[in-house]
Amino acid sequence: MSTLSLTATYAAMGARRVAVLAIGCAAILVSLVLDVATGPAFLPVAAVAKSVFGLAQDRTVDAIIWSIRLPIAFVALVVGAALGLSGAIMQTILNNPLASSYTLGVSAGAGFGAALVIVLGVAMPVPEAWGIPLMAFLFAGIACAGVYGIGQARESSPEMLVLAGIALLFLFQALLALLQFVASPEALQQIVFWLFGSLQKASWSKLWIITAVLVACIPVLVVDVWRLTALKLGDERARGLGVDVRRLRLRCFVLISALTGVAVAFVGTIGFVGLVAPHIARMLVGEDQRSFLPASALYGALLLSLASIASKTVLPGAIVPIGIVTSLIGVPFFVWLILRNRRAFW
Amino acid sequence: MKLTVAGLSVRYGARQAIAAVDLTAHPGEMLAVIGPNGSGKSSLVKAIAGLVTHAGVVAFDGSPLRPERIGYMPQDIGARAALTVLEAVLLGRLGRLGLRVRPDDLAAVEAVLGELDLMPLASRYLGELSGGQRQLVFLAQALASEPSLLLLDEPISALDIRHQLEVMEIVLRMTKSRGLTTLVILHDLNIAARFADAVMVMRQGRVVCSGRPGDVIDASMVAAVFGVEAALSSAPDGRLIVTPLRALAAA
């Protein structure tokens, strides 16, 4: 086989992955349009297009689309992308397909932070509406730092980090249960609704914040993309290839903290996306992180966008919390996906 | 380039893995490290590669070792990452890779894949390979970095006899043609005797003896270090053959 044929093999692998990413982008575009069209009042796609391009005559339609549905639809995309990306990074640095910010306590930490504000009314130096997101973000960071800090005891081995994450998951769940136990009925209802996850409080300002964090993570990941790929071969082999595994993990934990924190702060805990999007990406493009990370973000965005549509359509006249929808629809799909996958990745 | 190790010690907590190891290996030379399980061979290689905290000096032509000059192949072959053979071998050139893979990186990977007869597997995932095939892939990864120092921890332990011979022939050929300094951990004394320019014997973290295979490998060493009674003979071409007879009760 000549150099040309190896080059051809490499090019064919690359072309296939670009196609997977392109299909993901096209599906996201379709889902975005449907998400905007769907709601208590279904809007024809033509009306949506006219409004988006400034050609609409109806001010009510314009208001519905620009003030409510577009921010919700775009927030679904960027939150899904942030959760998919953080799940992918977590599964890579811990070399564990069960890892996600939900299974390792980061989302639980955020939930506890939000509940603290709701129950105790912790005073924050920000407008009232931003108190819950800020505390959720802070506690997502504290949970991440806790996982990393405990993991350090054994040279931040993946096994130790996973165990630390599970321990913190139980800790934050217990603290959250305690807050729910002492909460007033109104506060309890508010906590439960927050924990379900909801896109209904989406706004353009929240969209820009989440997008800014997502975009800020990209250059850091680009620099480390081959090191992360090497880490998939195990710590020892990665170190043998010249990777400073400890520093790489620390950088990644900062990214995970920011991505998960900003995502759950604004929409509540959505568990499933961060776990399943990386699995879909892995099946489609493998674990060369140059394509695995963008694919995880894209398919995370697509999953949450589809869940957003489903949340508005499964019960006529009602909007089901998106965290419930992602699990109810996503779990059977995920089980089907892993059962039909014949490659031994796990 | 000459590898010099002086007074190398590794400790894991209270356990002394290796103590005061000295060795010298020359370019174009294959040094085989042999010894029973737990004798400190892997710790020695990891310390030379800079992967474990150690005391003592490791120098390459008098200078500290730079990671990019080392091709290291660890013992573990259990990687089940969703990476293709091509991607796994490319990782051997990690320090030089950019977002877009350059033609010279692909050419280097192709050369080593061709040498190890792995081209038909280039687009297969690691999880789809046998243990022996994965071992060859990780050997290819170590070679793809175009190292000056090659550190191989049991590179043929999962291979059949034909592939054992083929891989050792390739490693020996590359050692000679590229002027590599090669340190290889082996369990098979016949393979060590057949391919290595020099042999170093370890036991309980210390060097027992070292030198040319014919000078080091004899019945008394095998009995003392491995606790096995062995008969030594010569093949028609003069190569040493070690035939184990039985384990010594007192060993």
Poorest-confidence range of A49-53, A171-175, B55-59, B160-164? A49-53
Taking the Cβ of residue B104 and every Cβ of chain A, the question of whether any pair is shorter than 8 Å is answered with: no
**Chain A residues near any Cβ of chain B (below 8 Å):** 1, 3, 6-7, 9-10, 12-13, 222, 225-227, 229-230, 232-234, 236-237, 239-243, 282, 286-288, 290, 343-346
**Any domain includes B231:** no
Let me know if residue B226 belongs to a domain. Answer: no
For B150, the closest chain A residue by CA position comes to A240
Residues of chain B in contact with residue A290, where contact means CB-CB under 8 angstroms, are: 99
**Region A292-302: what's the mean pLDDT?**
97
> pLDDT class for B251, splitting at 50, 70, 90?
very low
**A148-182: pLDDT as tens digits:** 988 887 666 888 899 999 999 999 999 999 999 99
Contact B82 A286 (CB under 8 A): yes
Residues A14 and A246: their CA atoms lie apart, in Å, by 30
Residue A145 pLDDT exceeds 80? yes
> What pLDDT shows up at residue A344?
53
The 8-class DSSP code of residue B84 comes to B
Per-residue pLDDT at B219: 93
List domains and CATH numbers for chain A. Answer: 75-340 (1.10.3470.10)
The predicted-structure confidence for B169-218, as pLDDT tens digits, reads as follows 999 999 999 999 999 999 999 999 999 999 999 999 999 999 999 999 99
Which residues have a Cβ under 8 Å from the Cβ of B124 and sit 6 or more positions away? B84, B85
- Per-residue confidence at A340, pLDDT binned at 50, 70, 90? confident
Q: What residues make up the domain containing B176? A: 3-217
Residue B251 within a domain? no
For residue A345, is pLDDT > 90?
Answer: no
Q: Summarize pLDDT for B9-66 with one digit per residue, the tens.
A: 999 988 999 999 999 999 999 999 999 999 999 999 999 999 999 999 999 888 888 8
For A197-221, letters b (16+ CB in 10 Å) and e give: bbbebbeeebbebbbebbeebeeeb
What is the number of domains present in chain B?
Answer: 1
Contact (CB<8Å) A3/B87? no
**DSSP letter at B102?**
P
Task: Give the global pTM.
Answer: 0.90
Which carries the bigger pLDDT value, residue A2 or residue A51?
A51
Residue A62 reports pLDDT greater than 50: yes
Distance (Å) from the C-alpha of residue B155 to the closest C-alpha of chain A? 14
In this prediction, residue A327 carries a pLDDT of 82
**Residue B183: CATH number of its domain:** 3.40.50.300
Specify if B229 maps to a domain: no
Please state, rounded to an integer, the average pLDDT across all residues of chain A.
Answer: 89
Residue B51 sits at the chain A interface (C-beta within 8 Å): yes
Residue B249 lies in a domain: no
